[in-house]
């Protein structure tokens, strides 16, 4: 082989080496777990043109996207799409935001295709959403990960937000496995869209009414019959099945034990705008597995948890066809009551000498971290005094509601148990602030 001595040849080799070195640059090691690590408040930076930011706030009722750059701990994603989001919390002062990484460019952020920046606009404590999802996860149910965040828009503090893991096929892959998150052969994820008060009544054989309230979030363009025929069949079955057939028939399509657990968590949390909300069903997703395993209900937008101190344990269960059917099955009703007891124990568990249970301790820890940011929040609708007062009420609820729920459930389960459970006093917990 002829040795290489020519300067031109060395030039060519150097170019090759430079290309190699540049291409082999190591990637940053931040992960999703770091982003949703709530032991610290995350700093999320958005760089967006001032004109676009003002336009987004001025037209907060619209879903118009604007281009922005997202930065977190040195990880920058350029050219993401941001838009206003939310239902009752949607406003132009402190807009809730959806950040779509691949709106304009095929890219992701730590493997996430999108991110939700919840504006915590209806909760003076800014804790309820996070605490509720913690409870779901602690109870063994799939729930979005969340952490508090200081949002900086063009390097200016734009308010305390909650960074929320969106329910999409990335989430599905995380909690149910990669195969379920496959873009083509994965399962079917639907977001329940509140249009009117509804409780699983049969809507007829046409598929349009189901499409109106169940918006596909995976396989969005798949055949209509694949998307909605199973929902029509499920709804028909829920309405037509006698109590003694609910477990084998409805249970074949819907994971009833998991739903019972879901309902129990929301009842312990005193949720008033959830699956059995005061305005019908709201704030949940439905996931149909790719291999036809029973579908599962997933929690979403739980900022109206921990509002109702004295909500009865069977609150509004009779108003929903599905929960009414479930509670008519003795085994499922017993499971519900037992789960109320065990979830209450979760909330109150780990109490020290000061009487604070696990969730109250979590509330205190998070409150201490966000308090300075609440005080400095330039666009929050609440004063710091309201935050502080509401926090005290929340702590009271976390301390008194679990024993009340457990006692009430135990009284039904065991006639020998005390049948009189003291109803917690409202104390200084403020009235719900729902705007719907």
Partner 1 sequence: MTQYGRAAAVVGLSAGLALGSGGTALAQVPAADPASGVSAAQNGAPGGSGFRLAPSGRPTLQLPIGEIQFRGRVAGTVQSPARDRGTALPDPGWQTARLQVEGTLFTRLEFEVSREFGDPEEPERDLFANFRVTRGFELRGGQFKVPFGRDALTGGANLDFVYRSLLGRQLAPGRDLGVMAHGRVSGRRVAYQAGYFRHDGDNARTAQTRGGGPALAGRVVVTPLAGRDTPLARLQVGGAVVTSRLDDVLGLRGRTVFGEGVFFDRVFVNGRRLRRGLEAAWAMGPVSLSGEHMTVSDQRTGMGAAETDLPTVTASGWYVAGTWVLTGERKDGRVEPAHSLFDDGHGALELTARVERLAFGTSAEFPALTVSPLTPLPVANADRVVTVGLSWYLTRHLKLTGNAVFEFLGDPARSPEPEGDGRVPTGVVQFQFVL
- Neighbouring residues of 346: CB distance < 8 A, sequence distance ≥ 6: 135, 138, 139, 358, 359
* Residue nearer to partner 1 on the CB measure, 226 or 365: 226
Binding of residue 9 to partner 1 (CB under 8 A):
yes
Sign of the four-CA dihedral 225, 231, 234, 235: negative
Alpha carbon distance 205, 190 (integer Å): 19
Binding of residue 73 to partner 1 (CB under 8 A):
no
Binding of residue 223 to partner 1 (CB under 8 A):
yes
Residue from the set 31, 40, 78, 414 that interacts with partner 1 by CB under 8 A: 78
Binding of residue 219 to partner 1 (CB under 8 A):
yes
Residues 183, 304: contact at Cβ < 8 Å? Answer: no
Binding of residue 351 to partner 1 (CB under 8 A):
no
Residue from the set 28, 104, 140, 312 that interacts with partner 1 by CB under 8 A: 104
Least gap, CB of 179 to partner 1 (angstroms): 10
Residue from the set 41, 44, 72, 81 that interacts with partner 1 by CB under 8 A: 81
Least gap, CB of 72 to partner 1 (angstroms): 14
Least gap, CB of 221 to partner 1 (angstroms): 4
Least gap, CB of 172 to partner 1 (angstroms): 13
Binding of residue 221 to partner 1 (CB under 8 A):
yes
Binding of residue 361 to partner 1 (CB under 8 A):
no
**Phi-psi map region of 153: left, alpha, beta (phi>0 left; psi -120 to 50 alpha):** beta
Binding of residue 14 to partner 1 (CB under 8 A):
no
Tokens of 194: 């509140």
Binding of residue 49 to partner 1 (CB under 8 A):
yes
Residues 111, 29: contact at Cβ < 8 Å? Answer: no
Binding of residue 65 to partner 1 (CB under 8 A):
yes
Q: Strand pairing partners for 136?
A: none
Binding of residue 291 to partner 1 (CB under 8 A):
no
Alpha-carbon separation of residue 146 from 38, 97, 115, 208 (angstroms): 7, 14, 10, 34
Least gap, CB of 34 to partner 1 (angstroms): 20
- Neighbouring residues of 121: CB distance < 8 A, sequence distance ≥ 6: 86, 89, 91, 94, 96, 380, 381
Phi, psi of 108 (to 5 degrees): -140, 170
- Continuous segment of H or E residues that includes residue 150: strand 146-153
Q: Where are the beta strands (DSSP E) in 361-414?
A: none
Binding of residue 15 to partner 1 (CB under 8 A):
yes
Alpha carbon distance 217, 172 (integer Å): 11
Alpha-carbon separation of residue 416 from 161, 339, 344, 407, 426 (angstroms): 48, 19, 20, 12, 29
Least gap, CB of 354 to partner 1 (angstroms): 49
The stretch near partner 1 (CB under 8 A) out of 9-17, 122-130, 308-316, 346-354 is: 9-17
* Residue nearer to partner 1 on the CB measure, 83 or 128: 83
Number of residues that bind partner 1 (CB under 8 A): 50
Question: Could you tell me whether strands 146-153 and 42-47 are parallel, antiparallel, or unpaired per DSSP bridges?
Answer: parallel
- Neighbouring residues of 74: CB distance < 8 A, sequence distance ≥ 6: 28, 30
The stretch near partner 1 (CB under 8 A) out of 102-110, 151-159, 234-242, 263-271 is: 102-110
Residue from the set 152, 207, 252, 369 that interacts with partner 1 by CB under 8 A: 207
Binding of residue 233 to partner 1 (CB under 8 A):
no
SS3 label, residue 95: coil
Least gap, CB of 3 to partner 1 (angstroms): 7
Tokens of 268: 């312990």
Q: Strand pairing partners for 223?
A: none
* Residue nearer to partner 1 on the CB measure, 30 or 361: 30
Residue from the set 4, 195, 375, 376 that interacts with partner 1 by CB under 8 A: 4
The stretch near partner 1 (CB under 8 A) out of 182-190, 254-262, 304-312, 415-423 is: 182-190
Site string for partner 1, 18-37 (x = CB under 8 A): xxx-xxx-------------
Residues of this chain that interact with partner 1 (CB under 8 A) are 1-4, 6, 8-9, 12-13, 15-16, 18-20, 22-24, 49, 52, 65-67, 76-79, 81, 102-107, 182-185, 206-208, 211-212, 219, 221-226, 228
């Amino acid at each position: 082989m002829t040795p290489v001595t020519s300067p031109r040849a060395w030039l060519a080799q150097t170019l090759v080496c430079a290309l190699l070195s540049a291409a082999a640059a190591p990637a940053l090691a931040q992960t999703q777990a770091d982003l949703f690590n709530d032991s610290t408040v995350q700093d999320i930076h958005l760089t967006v043109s001032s004109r676009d930011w003002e336009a987004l706030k001025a037209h907060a009722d619209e879903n118009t996207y604007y281009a922005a750059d997202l930065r977190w701990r040195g990880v920058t994603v350029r050219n993401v799409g941001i838009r206003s989001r939310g239902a009752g919390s949607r406003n132009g002062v402190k807009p809730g935001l959806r950040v779509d990484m691949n709106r304009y460019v095929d890219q992701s952020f730590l493997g996430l295709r999108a991110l939700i920046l919840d504006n915590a606009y209806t909760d003076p404590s800014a804790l309820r959403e996070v605490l509720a999802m913690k409870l779901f996860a602690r109870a063994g149910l799939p729930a979005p990960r969340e952490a508090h965040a200081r949002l900086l828009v063009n390097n200016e503090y734009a308010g305390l937000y909650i960074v929320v893991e969106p329910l999409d096929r990335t989430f599905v892959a995380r909690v149910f496995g990669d195969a379920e998150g496959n873009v083509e052969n994965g399962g079917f994820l639907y977001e329940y869209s509140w249009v009117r008060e509804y409780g699983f009544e049969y809507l007829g054989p046409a598929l349009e009414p189901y499409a109106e309230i169940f918006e596909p979030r995976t396989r969005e363009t798949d055949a209509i019959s694949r998307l909605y025929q199973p929902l029509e069949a499920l709804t028909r079955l829920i309405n037509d099945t006698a109590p003694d057939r609910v477990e084998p028939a409805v249970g074949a399509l819907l994971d009833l034990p998991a739903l019972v657990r879901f309902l129990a968590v929301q009842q312990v949390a005193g949720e008033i705008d959830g699956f059995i909300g005061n305005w019908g069903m709201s704030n949940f997703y439905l996931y149909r597995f790719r291999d036809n395993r029973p579908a599962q209900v997933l929690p979403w937008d739980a900022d109206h948890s921990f509002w109702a101190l004295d909500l009865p344990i069977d609150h509004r269960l009779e108003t929903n066809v599905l929960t009414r059917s479930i509670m008519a099955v003795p085994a499922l009703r017993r499971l519900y009551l037992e789960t109320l007891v065990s979830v209450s124990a979760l909330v109150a568990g780990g109490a020290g000498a000061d009487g604070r249970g696990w969730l109250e301790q979590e509330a205190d820890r998070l409150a201490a971290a966000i308090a300075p940011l609440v005080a400095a929040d330039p666009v929050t609708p609440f004063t710091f005094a309201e935050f502080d007062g509401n926090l005290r009420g929340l702590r009271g609820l976390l301390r008194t509601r679990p024993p009340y729920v457990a006692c009430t459930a135990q009284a039904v389960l065991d006639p020998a148990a005390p049948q009189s459970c003291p109803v917690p006093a409202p104390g200084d917990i403020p009235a719900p602030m729902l705007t719907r």
